[in-house]
A and B are shown apart, each in its own frame.
Chain A
């Protein structure tokens, strides 16, 4: 019969139409923005800078090494180094970015900046409802806008954040152990030709006590 194929096709459509009232699988429309699907955990939209603790300026992990600026394909990152230094999470004095601008209208969300950052300082955000009426500058994010806390990172990417925290804690422990071993070796060398073990024993404890408090504020974000 002519038209049989079309009728068969219509039968499929009717099955889907009737089925959409019964099974959720066939009703695939989500009425955005009243209903929202939760974004996948790995989703990446635009970058943000992480800071540990509560003060975004003091706790910012970025040391302005400019590797992300160099590797960014569309060159949307603009960094200016600071003239002074501040202590980082292991206590070492590092320079920090005086300016860190990302032009979000240029950013391709490729995540290469995250991949190449050696300090776990820049990560991908999942917020995409960023439309603004300010055409010039509304999509140019400066470092204050980009700074978000480690707690926020745990909220949006829990698995990744725990992994990063574990890695940073390991690095910090290694750095502290190295510092303690170095001071002990230096004190032992200084103490041996001098009077005896007593002044040598006093020196490393004083040095170790000096090193530890400096690392506390940066590491308080966990």
Chain B
């Protein structure tokens, strides 16, 4: 099978204008991936499926990944013009100070596709696509038209991560119930604490549940039930 660089070159030749970049995998498994842009994703996917050498006809796995916003603190050297009094005279002097600047690197949601070939019996070729941010621009093109295997898995990613796949024939929640709000697999998901009252060995869970129970006017704590 071709290496990642060769596949990248082949994609760029076949689908001009497609943005493809190689994402190196630092671990020992050496499964490097290709990050593709949204615009020509479906054409790239069709090319990968139709190319006689690659023949990636089998989409094995579609995964969603959440990369939350990161706050990065970095030291920056800043040169500023300061007015200082030297020998009684006010002068404009240049001063270089080291400051710690905090910037927010915006996070994104990512979809990873693992492709294999049943015809040539090779693989995997890993494709990645990133959304622009985690809040409003969460649309990605759906590859269900190319590989039917993506249908349920993209629905699951929509359900658990909130990525909206454009072009998906039936995009609705699959594992959670239809009226559910929020997306459980995101890193900033806060799970509800109105658990059913069960004494466990860990008191903080119990305390949270108890707060909801007494608020709703439910059963009191039986004596001897607490550890």
Direct touching of A and B (C-beta under 8 Å): yes
The count of residues in chain A whose C-beta lies closer than 8 Å to any C-beta of chain B is 14
Say yes or no: is A188 at the interface (Cβ < 8 Å to chain B): no
Instruction: Assess whether B202 is in contact with A137, with CB atoms less than 8 Å apart.
Output: no
B residues at A contact (CB < 8 Å) = 198-202, 222, 224-227
Q: In the assembly, what is the distance between CA of A103 and CA of B198, in Å?
A: 11
Cβ distance A60 to chain B, nearest Cβ, rounded Å: 19
Task: State whether A140 and B201 are in contact (beta carbons under 8 Å apart), knowing that A78-B227, A101-B227 are contacts in the complex.
Answer: yes
Give which listed residue, B198, B201, B202, contacts A136 with CB less than 8 A: B198
Task: State whether A76 and B199 are in contact (beta carbons under 8 Å apart), knowing that A136-B225, A137-B224 are contacts in the complex.
Answer: no
Extra A-B contacts (14), CB below 8 Å, given A75-B201, A105-B198, A136-B222 = A76-B201, A78-B202, A78-B227, A101-B227, A103-B200, A103-B201, A106-B201, A136-B199, A136-B225, A137-B199, A137-B225, A140-B199, A140-B201, A142-B227
Q: In the assembly, what is the distance between CA of A137 and CA of B197, in Å?
A: 12
Instruction: Assess whether B200 is in contact with A106, with CB atoms less than 8 Å apart.
Output: yes
Q: In the assembly, what is the distance between CA of A19 and CA of B103, in Å?
A: 79
Q: In the assembly, what is the distance between CA of A137 and CA of B224, in Å?
A: 7
Q: In the assembly, what is the distance between CA of A60 and CA of B173, in Å?
A: 52
Instruction: Assess whether A101 is in contact with B201, with CB atoms less than 8 Å apart.
Output: yes
Q: In the assembly, what is the distance between CA of A136 and CA of B60, in Å?
A: 45
Shortest 9 CB-CB contacts between residues of A and residues of B? A78-B201, A136-B225, A103-B201, A137-B225, A101-B201, A136-B199, A101-B227, A103-B200, A136-B222
Cβ distance A46 to chain B, nearest Cβ, rounded Å: 14
Q: Please indicate the chain B residues that have their CB under 8 angstroms from the CB of A142 in the complex.
A: 227
Cβ distance B217 to chain A, nearest Cβ, rounded Å: 19
Q: Please indicate the chain A residues that have their CB under 8 angstroms from the CB of B199 in the complex.
A: 136-137, 140
Q: In the assembly, what is the distance between CA of A140 and CA of B202, in Å?
A: 12
Q: Please indicate the chain B residues that have their CB under 8 angstroms from the CB of A103 in the complex.
A: 200-201
8 Å CB interface, A133-156 against B: 136-137, 140, 142
